[in-house]
Amino acid sequence: VTRVEYAYPVGSDRWLEARFHPSADGVTLVTTQISERKRAEDALRTRARQQEAVAQLGREALLGNDLGILMDLATAVVSDTLGDARSMILEFLPDRGQLRLRAGVGWQPGSVGHALADGDASSLFGHALTSASPLIVEDLATRTGLRIPPLLTEHAVVERHDLPAGHDLLAL
C-alpha cells in the first residue's frame, strides 16, 4: 500500500489522503478527506513548541542567570514560538512614569535598553500595565481613547497584544 497526503486544490487547507492498493486486477485508489486530522496535527505541533519554549525558559530561570539575559531569551523564544517578527518586555520606571524597552526582538538597533514610552493611564502601554485583564488591540489605526506610543508607530506595528506581567514589567 502506498499512501500520499496532499492539499487539493493546491495551496488550500483541504487535505486528502490517497491510498493505492495493488491487486491482481490492477490498483485500487481510496481517497479520504483528512483536513480535520491535519488541523489537529498542526495544533499538537504548535502546543508542543509552546511547551518546549516554556520549559526552556524555566530551565534558564532555574540556572539563576542574569535577569537581562532571561528577558532577552524570553522575547526571542516568544517571537520564535509565535512566529512574530517582534516581541518586547517593557520595564516601568515609577520615578519617571515611563516604560523602557528592556528586552525585545525585531526592533530598530539601539531601541532595546533606550526607547521610552509614556506609562500613564491614558497611554496604551500604561492602560495595559494597570489593567487586571489582557488588553487586545486588533488594529492600532482604529483604536481610540488611548495614545498610541511612538515606539509602535515608528516601527510600523499595526497589531499588538498586551499581557500584564507584573507591577513593573509589561510583555508584548
For the stretch 60-119, pLDDT in tens is 889 887 888 889 988 888 888 777 678 889 898 988 889 999 999 988 899 999 999 888
For the CA atoms of 149, 153, 154, 156, the dihedral, rounded to the nearest 10 degrees, stands at: 140
Question: Which backbone phi and psi does 4 adopt, to 5 degrees?
Answer: -135, 135
Give per-residue pLDDT as tens, 140-161: 777 677 888 888 877 777 655 5
Position 54 scores a pLDDT of 86
Quote the pLDDT of residue 159. 57
Tens of pLDDT along 2-17?
999 999 999 899 999 9
> 108-137: per-residue pLDDT in tens?
899 999 999 888 888 888 888 887 887 777
pTM: 0.64
